[in-house]
A and B are shown apart, each in its own frame.
Chain A
């Protein structure tokens, strides 16, 4: 089996035996996504750089205990999430709560100004970025990291029903923001 086709799990097995080439391969496969995930979580690329590195060092340390119950990508995102939260708590940074987020769309620009400045795709991207962290995270995990409902639950440490609820409200907020900007998509 060549390195290009070797599965993530097979590589983790090699890492567990002290194979540094295997951990570098996993780094190359997953680092960008882990980095982006943390950057979106923390809002800081500097923090993302440190934490993403730590995630793969943690992979090196924990590989012997990896039982393969979840995909390696899900496992790494879970580690990244835990580390990001730990760092944020240490730095006493506050999460944006729903009330704050509701104000974001109504920021400096009116919806009319926004629509003048941006096409629908750009507006949507702006609204995704402005979602409360807990909602944006499930959007990121589903759309970008292509995680299932169950896997998102594992990464975030929340029940499946909560994942669905957060997804519901995330999409509802996006719909409302679009409507306010002049794009009525018929739901909610």
Chain B
């Protein structure tokens, strides 16, 4: 018989009291302690003693104060372990919109076609036209990068001719993409936020547009 088995009922109850106080006791042990507390006059005094131990133990622990800079030092150790943290996203709403946006499935065939479309549109934009002998490709790229833009995804069954015609009519330029998810960055030639939103509404209304989200809007008055 083990030492635990040899315990008297009082010993057993005294052993369980700390667990009764911390709320972790259950089942037959809980019933036994509650029955003891209800029937033995010495039990309530014992419970008071255990409560005093509880308080003293808590005080002894709480007296130990962790260093105030523990979290910052841990963050540095974590970065050393896992590498530098990725740059923070622009904003939560943009991140959520992007996640929804890229969650739209894209057919492999369309992704390939989209890449081809991007090549065709950008090349046609960047090639000098008949009277554009002074055309500067680098300058045009810079301009595109500085322009307001939107992120657009086309439907897998969209026709390239429809898209190209729409872009041309509205002076929209493909400035980047497609990503692996078939997302294009579309330069939007809008001078005001109102113009920008109007154009985005127009794009979104096209039957070939699968999803459109705002990118950089023009600053009004600028």
Contact = CB atoms under 8 A, between A and B. Distances in A.
A32 interface: yes
A18 B79 CA distance: 12
A82 interface: no
A121 B52 contact: yes
Nearest to B11: A168
Contacts, number: 139
B71 A31 contact: yes
Contacts of B62: 36
Contacts of B85: 20
A188 B46 CA distance: 10
Contacts of B2: 161, 165
Interface in A37-70: 39-40, 45, 48-49, 52-53, 56-57, 60-61
> By DSSP majority rule, is chain A's interface helix, strand, loop, or mixed?
helix
Nearest to B75: A24
A124 interface: yes
A144 B15 contact: no
Given A35-B64, A142-B18, A143-B18, A149 B24 contact: yes
Interface of B: 2-4, 7, 10-11, 14-19, 21-25, 42, 45-46, 49-50, 52-62, 64, 66-67, 70-71, 73-75, 77-78, 81-82, 85
Interface of A: 18, 20, 23-24, 27-28, 31-33, 35-36, 39-40, 45, 48-49, 52-53, 56-57, 60-61, 120-122, 124-125, 128-129, 139-140, 142-144, 146-149, 151, 161, 164-165, 167-168, 171, 174-175, 185-188
